[in-house]
Amino acid sequence: RKEVEQDPGPFNVPEGATVAFNCTYSNSASQSFFWYRQDCRKEPKLLMSVYSSGNEDGRFTAQLNRASQYISLLIRDSKLSDSATYLCVVRQGSQGNLIFGKGTKLSVKP
Amino acid sequence: NAGVTQTPKFQVLKTGQSMTLQCAQDMNHNSMYWYRQDPGMGLRLIYYSASEGTTDKGEVPNGYNVSRLNKREFSLRLESAAPSQTSVYFCASSLFRGPATNEKLFFGSGTQLSVL
């Protein structure tokens, strides 16, 4: 089993749609969780950290379920500019290594 | 504020050639990292430096060496390039490193390396 698994995508949605990405992680001792965004041929950039209580940043909502080892990202009212690959990232181990998922590609169409 | 700067942006090598990828950050970060990203794969950690003067292997260190020249600079060297090292390489930095931290990574813009 991969350490961090994501929906492979691609997700093709119209503007204004709500889209949800899922991510599971295998190491129950994982400590911190993140969503990064990566535009085509660009570097990854932090979108948001994910907290146990769930957190929201504008149109983006992230949730963590430690019992199920599951992380989600919800994007409401999708914009063309949301088109990118979304990377689920988990920090684990005594050294705090970051483990990246393969990413889920989102394409928002007019 | 430049953030993380890595050079070169593109490089083509022949099998067996050597090269060094340079990375510098101006954010006074303690920790620096080198990742590679291949199609269909997540980013994989090659080496990291938790602080000036220390380096450690990541998930895929074979065929690479690193040098933490000072707090700002962290270079990645391919001594004898192989086609399997064709990839996009990203340097990154963070303020500090450790478990249970929400410290974010700042990435450089990447190096597209092709080994023929």
Q: Which residue in chain A has the smallest CA separation from B89?
A: A43
Q: In what order do the strands lie in the sheet with A60-65?
A: A4-6, A19-25, A70-75, A60-65, A55-57
Contact assignment for B101 to A32 by CB distance below 8 Å: yes
| Residue numbers in B near A53 (CB within 8 A) | none
Q: What is the DSSP string of B12-39?
A: EE-TT--EEEEEEE-S--SEEEEEEE-T
pLDDT tens digits in sequence order for chain A, 110 residues long: 578 999 878 999 999 999 999 999 998 888 889 999 999 989 999 999 998 888 999 999 999 999 999 999 999 999 999 999 999 999 877 777 788 999 999 999 99
Please tell me the distance from the alpha carbon of residue A17 to that of residue A78, in angstroms, as a whole number: 5
Which of B48, B44, B32 is CA-nearest to residue B94?
A: B32
Chain A residue numbers with beta carbons less than 8 Å from the beta carbon of B44 are 100
Distance of CA A37 to the CA centre of its chain: 8
Residue A43 to residue B108, Cβ atoms within 8 A: yes
> How does pLDDT run across B60-101, given as a tens digit for each residue?
999 999 999 899 999 999 999 999 999 999 999 998 766 666
- Both structure tokens of B26: 């101006």
Q: Nearest 5°: phi and psi at A82?
A: -80, -10
